[in-house]
Amino acid sequence: MPRNWRLKMNDITSEMILSVCEAIQNNENQATFVGASTRLYTEKVFSFAVARGLCDRNVAIDTRGELAPASSGNHLPAITKPDQFATLLNDMSHFKGASKTTLEVMNLLPYVFVRSIDLRSMRWQDIDWDNKLWEFSPTKGEGREDMVSHLVVPLAIQSLSAYEEYKQLQVIKNMYLHRCVPQAIAILAKRL
């Protein structure tokens, strides 16, 4: 297949889509979930295009069932023993294989026990500084009746003090806490 595709949607075939998704699934990073998700999103893009008259047919539908299932991997049991949890925390604090923002969020997770997407979406206005609480609407299950629509998380001293410093230094001019400048990340790294 050409590296720089310049195709119209009607020129794309189900074989092309399947080839790309299989290539993603067969890479060394065990990207089965990513390959299957790519196929699903491609189907959604084609569905959008068909509905708006941008192409004649959703060829991605023809690839259903042709890839390895989109399992997100093996679910591991919760760590309940203190020594195993200590090992996990130590490994997390020494991990260097990600961006500074990712490391910051990852090292805050044990203090708040929320999904990483919710922590990354944390806003200044959601923090109750007086009561040391973070109130927010979780992203998972948004609009679903079987999911909670509002959570209140107590903030640990370690995370609260870092956020207080961010606020005092005014290093974050954004409404989101975790889209911060390098100085703010450095402050947090020293605290944890």
User: Which residues, at least 6 apart from 63, have a Cβ–Cβ distance to it below 8 Å?
Assistant: 14, 17, 18, 21, 39, 42, 43
What is the SS3 string spanning 64-87? CCCCCCCCCCCCCCCCCCHHHHHH
Alpha-carbon 169 to chain mean position: 28
Give pLDDT tens digits for 65-88.
888 776 655 666 778 899 988 998
Q: Which of 39-43, 67-71, 176-180 has the lowest mean pLDDT?
A: 176-180
User: Which residues, at least 6 apart from 92, have a Cβ–Cβ distance to it below 8 Å?
Assistant: 106, 107, 110
pTM for this model (two decimals): 0.49
Q: Cβ distance 36 to 25 under 8 Å?
A: yes
Give pLDDT tens digits for 115-146.
877 887 788 788 888 999 999 888 776 667 77
Q: Residue for token digits 């975790």?
A: 178
Assess whether pLDDT exceeds 80 at residue 178.
Answer: no
